[in-house]
Structure 1
Amino acid sequence: MTTGNAGHSSELPRPLDGPALAEELARQKDVQPIHSIDDLACDGIFDTDEELDEFLEFTYAARRTDLA
């Protein structure tokens, strides 16, 4: 007498990773391609001019760190 599960797979589906995961998440969220830079533009990203300035300073500093 065998105690195995003949014909029954006890393996769980393999989790998605890499490009397959990205494609599945995009499908689930109905993501559409960007057709122009205008698709990215929107108001209200930064609450104040100071927040924008901090972001720009951080971005410029991060770009310069790899130059040396």
Structure 2
Amino acid sequence: MQQEVVEPANVADHIKPHRGDVDLFFDPNNLQSLCAACHDSTKQRIELGQTIISFDSCGWPID
């Protein structure tokens, strides 16, 4: 997940949800840094299969 907004990262997010898989939970290649707002909203919506529409700094939609 990449956006043009720059915020300090304060959450270690699992790229692929571990769902109790200990190996996936501790896999350092399965971690990314996110800000809390992205982790708690955008990332959760993506995992639920919802469509996310983002916009660049000029207001154009980002695919």
TM-score (norm 2): 0.27
Higher strand share: 2
TM-score (norm 1): 0.26
- Determine which structure has greater relative contact order: mean sequence separation of CA pairs < 8 Å that are 6+ residues apart, divided by chain length: 2
